[in-house]
Amino acid sequence: MAAAREEEAGELGPRDFVYGEKDFVPQAAGWDTEPGSAPSRFDRALLEGWNDRMERGLFRYRLGPLPTRVLPGPMRLVAQLNVQRGTERRPPQAVRSLRQPFDPQAFNFTRIRPGEVLLRLRRAGGGPAAPDQLLVAINVSPLERGHVLLLPEPARGLPQALTAPLLHGGLEAALLSAHPGFRVGFNGLGGCASVNHLHLHAFYLGCPLLVESAPARPLGPPGGLSLLPGVPAPAFLFYAAGPAGLEALARDVCRAAEHLTDTGLAYNVLATRGDPPGGPGAGGERGLRVLLWARKPSFGAKAGAAFNVALCELAGYLPLPAAPLYQDITEAQALCAIRQHLLPEPQLLRLGQDLARLLAS
């Protein structure tokens, strides 16, 4: 029966999802309402396809509701137990360089089954700033319900180095969702990327994170780059109030990320609905926060590490592979594991000034 389901599912093709300005949700539902109670057209299409593929058996494991708790402490870390992702996911590729070229012999997204692709996102009227189309495919080892990959033209064989068109497309996808916990992220080479083939992650998480609301400190002119301290992993913060600012934001993030690579640093990126840089008390409606983490490169799993530190962990979301760890971990232990990958504060501040000058030039 399972083999028959997989064969049937393999014959499915992606649905075209054509969107325009009218499909953007300027203000997603707040956390004081039931997340997902009023899904957008995009949310419905993504989740209906995702649930269908789960029923057809295309995932490596069946995902039900996951035990989730907020760790005591000011960082409000969200711990979640996902044993099967820890045991069933495909082993990550060996990454040895921040500029490792694409290897067609290694696993890549040209090898996924046609049934794994849910949607083909296409901007009505096109436009030079985002990809002509962006494939939305299931992550077969999901973190949460609705966990997908955003793939720009897989046949081109691009390595995992963030591009402005891909990020722009991912940011538009974030604005298509009405769920406050729909996040889009990127793990770079040396930042726990598991596949060296250009892609973004997107997933739903039914909990707020501190990085959405914590106030930031300007590093340059108003409206430019900020530093977000007082969160699990201090990050450089970019912000756009709506669709009109996404092209410039994506370009700036990628210029900054390229500078990090040039200086021998790895990086991770997260886009999430959030308050303006000044925080919830600074006035203004919520928009899109984009966080860029500069970090020491990490190649391969670290012996004795309780968990790998990628974009989720840096943001304060801890998918954990074992029940004892989930039950016993403290905020102090989690922060210790996360922050050993980060830069010392003086180096981070110098880097922030360098980035502010770069982006102002």
Would you state the pLDDT for residue 235?
98
- DSSP classification of residue 34: -
- DSSP classification of residue 28: P
pLDDT in tens, the chain (361 residues): 344 344 444 467 789 999 999 999 988 888 887 776 799 999 999 999 999 999 999 999 999 999 999 999 999 999 999 999 989 998 889 999 999 999 999 999 999 999 999 999 999 987 656 677 899 999 999 999 999 999 999 999 999 999 999 999 999 999 999 999 999 999 999 999 999 999 999 999 999 999 999 999 999 887 789 999 999 999 999 999 999 999 999 999 999 999 999 999 999 999 999 999 999 877 778 999 999 999 999 886 555 567 899 999 999 999 999 999 999 999 999 999 999 999 999 999 999 999 999 999 8
Q: Which residues, other chains included, contact 348 with Cβ-Cβ below 8 Å and sequence gap of 6+?
A: 227, 234, 294, 342
Closest listed residue to residue 234, CA positions, set 77, 346, 356, 345: 345
Q: What is the pTM of this model?
A: 0.94
Structure tokens at 129: 């700033």
What whole-number distance in Å separates Cα of residue 263 and Cα of residue 25? 37
Question: In 216-321, which residue ranges form alpha helices assigned H by DSSP?
Answer: 246-262, 311-315
**CATH code at 152?**
3.30.428.70
For residue 9, how many other CB atoms are within 10 A of its CB? 18
The torsion angle over the Cα atoms of residues 304, 201, 280 and 251, rounded to 10 degrees, is 110
For residue 207, how many other CB atoms are within 10 A of its CB? 16
What whole-number distance in Å separates Cα of residue 277 and Cα of residue 287? 10
Q: What is the greatest pairwise CA distance in the chain? A: 61
Find the domain containing 160 and state its range. Answer: 2-360
Q: Is the dihedral of CA 312, 314, 315, 316 positive or negative?
A: positive
What whole-number distance in Å separates Cα of residue 298 and Cα of residue 310? 10
CA 53 from chain centre, in angstroms, equals 21
Classified as helix, coil or strand, 130 is coil
β-strand pairing of 266-274 with 182-187? antiparallel
Would you state the pLDDT for residue 5?
41
Q: Which residues, other chains included, contact 152 with Cβ-Cβ below 8 Å and sequence gap of 6+?
A: 131, 134, 135, 158, 163, 165, 166, 169, 198
Would you state the pLDDT for residue 8?
45
Residues acting as catalytic residues: 199
Q: How many structural domains compose the chain?
A: 1
Would you state the pLDDT for residue 127?
64
Residue type, 344: P
Q: Which residues, other chains included, contact 8 with Cβ-Cβ below 8 Å and sequence gap of 6+?
A: 56
